[in-house]
């Protein structure tokens, strides 16, 4: 009986158990690299990180909510390594002045430590390794914070600005491997100049990243890619391998070609690059035109690889729906980037804990229950693995019992 009690009611709240996954060595390394505590002795880096992660996990939409929420936990803050809840002005100043690069370093340090653990082989059906997915997502902001995007509104209302999170996702781990935060007006293709990829990597991206100069560069470096071809692309067909376009009932790969495209430098054609063009037709009648520099894989597998690009859309949806990114805890670029990196740190920790708990529960279900019991004294892994279903089952049985009893009383 005592063993069961010890298992369910440990001496640390749920948030403290989550924070225990972050090694102090990762925080100390980031602190030494950026000398982040030099001018912020009232709010050390670790206290700053713990405070913001509390706000992320409890879904606080402002610093006032965050500080008042921590004040209500005064008796439990010692478990988090805090003597007292930081003042709102102190957090605001630190968000504006402490460089976001510190939190970026912490994120990449955690990713390096846990990558081998969270990585799995969900894509065993593909004969490829090192699959990376590139995409971006925009977070709307008012133009007072960052420069507005698009044309001026005809109705005279304020033009919304925003930030764009450009991400390189590792398909086998389900987390962001590299990202860059810019103003929303920056074109997606500029993100490619910041990538450093080893030979043998596979890239998947949409039309926005189609630049023939990068295609030629990757081909020389033996980096393979799959993308959709632009509708106005200019190319020359050198060989037709498959052509089923005249068959009305044909589905799957209906055309496969070898093509060449012109690679230009400063407006002058410097070379002709050979690529592979594949037209794929779904059962619903939709056609997709893919382009790749790989000539060995079957065309059907090229289409399957591109279909896995949807994984990064699920990642963006997971982050935006479960963590606070609608309202920001500061108006400076630095404060916004700090909050984005804290959200990514929280998502990485949840992926790691979910994998460690070996649970099949959805990410949204898990994060919701953790948010409700953030400062409760329950065993985190056991709680994630078993308690949710037991609680829901008990709730359903209680509801049915009450409904049956009320019906019987009416009759």
HSE-up (13 A, CA, CB side) for residue 341: 26
State pLDDT tens for residues 82-93.
778 888 888 888
What range does the domain containing 16 cover? 2-103+330-387
Which of 284, 305, 302 has its CA nearest to residue 241?
Answer: 302
Confidence of residue 9 (pLDDT cuts 50, 70, 90): low
Q: What is the Cα 173 distance to its own chain's centre?
A: 11
Mean pLDDT for 63-79 is 79
Residue 121 inside a domain? The answer is: no
Residues 13 and 99 in one domain: yes
Global pTM reads 0.81
Residue 62 inside a domain? The answer is: yes
Contact 88, 13 (CB under 8 A): no
Residue 346 inside a domain? The answer is: yes
For the ranges 12-16, 194-198, 276-280, 344-348, which has the lowest average pLDDT? 12-16
Confidence of residue 359 (pLDDT cuts 50, 70, 90): confident
Mean pLDDT for 50-69 is 88
Residues 337 and 281 in one domain: no
Q: How far apart are CA 184 and CA 216, in angstroms?
A: 27
Q: How far apart are CA 15 and CA 21, in angstroms?
A: 10
Residues 6 and 86 in one domain: yes
Q: Which residues contact 168 (CB under 8 A, 6 or more apart)?
A: 132, 133, 134, 176, 177, 178, 179, 195
Residue 352 inside a domain? The answer is: yes
DSSP assignment string, 299-338: HHHHHHHHHTTHHHHHHHHHHHHHS--SS-S-SSHHHHHH
Which of 122, 124, 126, 120 has its CA nearest to residue 296?
Answer: 126
State pLDDT tens for residues 336-349.
899 999 999 999 99
Q: How far apart are CA 80 and CA 125, in angstroms?
A: 43
Residues 288 and 335 in one domain: no
Q: How far apart are CA 5 and CA 378, in angstroms?
A: 10
Q: How far apart are CA 177 and CA 182, in angstroms?
A: 17
Coil, strand, or helix at residue 182? strand
**The pairing of beta strand 224-228 with beta strand 202-204:** parallel
Q: What is the 3-state secondary structure (H, E, C) of 70-100?
A: HHCCHHHHHHHCCCCCCCHHHHHHHHHHCCH
Residues 336 and 250 in one domain: no
In terms of C-beta distances under 8 Å and separation of at least 24 residues, what long-range contacts does 275-280 make, across chains too? 275/215, 275/235, 276/302, 277/229, 277/235, 277/237, 278/253, 278/302, 278/303, 279/245, 279/253, 279/254, 279/255, 280/252, 280/253, 280/254
The torsion angles phi and psi of 308, rounded to 5 degrees, stand at: -70, -5
Residue 374 inside a domain? The answer is: yes
- Burial (0-12, 13-18, 19+ Cβ within 10 Å), 329: buried
Confidence of residue 188 (pLDDT cuts 50, 70, 90): confident
Residue 370 inside a domain? The answer is: yes
Q: What is the 3-state secondary structure (H, E, C) of 255-276?
A: EEEEEEEEEEECCEEEEEEEEE
Residue 50 inside a domain? The answer is: yes
Give the chain's domain count.
2
- What is the pLDDT, as a whole number, of residue 10? 58
Average pLDDT taken over every residue of the chain: 81
- What is the pLDDT, as a whole number, of residue 125? 56
Whether 77 shows a pLDDT value over 80: the answer reads no
- What is the pLDDT, as a whole number, of residue 160? 53
Residues 274 and 341 in one domain: no
- What is the pLDDT, as a whole number, of residue 407? 45
Whether 18 shows a pLDDT value over 60: the answer reads yes
Residue 78 inside a domain? The answer is: yes
- What is the pLDDT, as a whole number, of residue 5? 46
Report CA torsion sign: 208, 210, 214, 220: positive
- What is the pLDDT, as a whole number, of residue 7? 47
DSSP tag of 192: G
Confidence of residue 157 (pLDDT cuts 50, 70, 90): low
Q: Which residues contact 357 (CB under 8 A, 6 or more apart)?
A: 380, 381, 384, 385
State pLDDT tens for residues 118-150.
876 555 555 577 888 998 888 876 544 444 444
State pLDDT tens for residues 244-254.
888 878 888 88
Whether 391 shows a pLDDT value over 50: the answer reads no
Whether 393 shows a pLDDT value over 60: the answer reads no
């Amino acid at each position: 009986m005592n063993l069961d009690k010890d298992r369910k009611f440990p001496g640390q709240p749920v948030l403290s158990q989550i924070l225990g996954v972050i090694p102090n060595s990762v925080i100390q390394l980031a602190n030494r690299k950026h000398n982040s505590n030099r001018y912020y002795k009232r709010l050390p880096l670790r206290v700053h990180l713990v405070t913001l992660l509390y706000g992320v996990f409890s879904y606080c939409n402002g610093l006032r909510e965050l500080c008042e929420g921590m004040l209500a936990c005064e008796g439990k803050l010692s478990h988090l390594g805090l003597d007292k809840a930081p003042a709102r002005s102190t957090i605001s100043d630190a968000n504006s002045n402490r460089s976001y690069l510190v939190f970026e370093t912490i994120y990449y340090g955690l990713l390096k430590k846990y990558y081998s653990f969270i990585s799995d082989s969900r894509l065993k059906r593909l004969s490829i390794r090192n699959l990376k997915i590139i995409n971006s997502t925009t977070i709307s902001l008012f133009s007072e914070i960052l420069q507005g995007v698009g044309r001026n509104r005809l109705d005279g209302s304020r033009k919304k600005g925003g930030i764009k999170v450009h991400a390189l996702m590792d398909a086998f781990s389900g987390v962001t491997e590299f990202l860059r935060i810019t103003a929303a007006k920056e074109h997606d293709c500029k993100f490619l100049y910041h990538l450093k990829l080893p030979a043998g990597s596979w890239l998947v991206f949409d039309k926005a990243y189609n630049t023939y100069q990068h295609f030629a560069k990757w081909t020389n470096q033996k980096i393979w890619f799959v993308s959709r071809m632009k509708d106005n692309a200019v190319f020359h067909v050198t060989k037709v391998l498959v052509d089923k376009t005249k068959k009305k009932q044909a589905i799957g790969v209906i055309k496969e070609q070898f093509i060449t495209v012109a690679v230009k430098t400063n407006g002058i054609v410097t070379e002709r690059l050979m690529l592979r063009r594949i037209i794929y037709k779904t059962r619903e009648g939709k056609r997709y035109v893919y382009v790749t520099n790989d000539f060995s894989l079957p065309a059907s597998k090229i289409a399957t690889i591109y279909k896995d690009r949807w994984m990064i859309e699920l990642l963006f949806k997971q982050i935006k729906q479960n963590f606070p990114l609608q309202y920001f805890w500061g108006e400076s670029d630095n404060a916004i980037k700090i909050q984005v990196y804290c959200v990514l740190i929280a998502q990485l920790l949840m992926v790691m804990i979910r994998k460690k708990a070996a649970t099949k529960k959805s990410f949204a279900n898990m994060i919701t229950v953790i948010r409700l019991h953030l400062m409760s004294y329950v065993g985190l892994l056991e709680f994630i693995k078993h308690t949710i279903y037991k609680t829901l089952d008990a709730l359903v049985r209680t509801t049915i019992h009450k409904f049956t009893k009320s019906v019987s009383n009416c009759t």
